Structure 1
Amino acid sequence: MKIESFTDIESWKLARELVKDVYTVTKNNKFAKDYRLKDQIQRAVVSIMSNIAEGFDSNSNKTFINFMNYSYRSASEVESLLYVALDLEYITKTEFDELKEKVSTTKKLIGGFIKYLKSTSN
């Protein structure tokens, strides 16, 4: 399948789902009241998909790889912030496990795509 739009990229599709999931759990009463943490995790999760989109339209593999790396790091930030949310009991262990699994899968897809982009730019 040829990728014609950033919306065709699997890691972007999964990141989009992750955005919805994070926004859903941050509506929780305890989480919703912690404005700084809520804002931080929401910005980071949106950054995952936004950097994929921005990098796709860069017209340069080197720039695209840089943006994919930003996306990967944003996913790591979300993962770290999920631990904070768990420790503060803003989310349940089940919510944490489901979100962490989706973040891990997203990172694997991003990492795989970065390797692909590097192999095609040589």
Structure 2
Amino acid sequence: MLKRIHHAAIICSDYHRSKSFYTEILGLTIIAENYRVERQSYKLDLALPDGGQIELFSFPAPPSRPSHPEARGLRHLAFVVESVAQVKQTLEEQGIAVEAIRIDEYTGKAFTFFSDPDGLPLELYQA
């Protein structure tokens, strides 16, 4: 039946700021970028190294996230990395606030959280 997640869709408040964050800071590759005039909306398809994708959308005046991080629905988006400590340092060197590294009590793996420009919680999880 289900094989893997194909993509996660994110609606941002400032398209150019979020595009820069996901491509320049997180290093995702652009697959396609389209502006939909009838919706006054960008749709940016970004590639993850494993074949997964992030769809970054902009819409005029999207509503804010109800709460952080415990709103009903998607809680956070997690990315597997080789070294949580190394990626944390890289993000911090670029001015991104990253929480302290924690250890998952069930798997023993390191993880931490940071936020995108709209406050969407993102997680780094040790490979």
For the criterion TM > 0.5, the same-fold answer is no
Higher relative contact order (CA 8 A, sep 6+): 1
Larger strand fraction of residues: 2
TM-score, scaled to structure 2? 0.29
Larger helix fraction of residues: 1
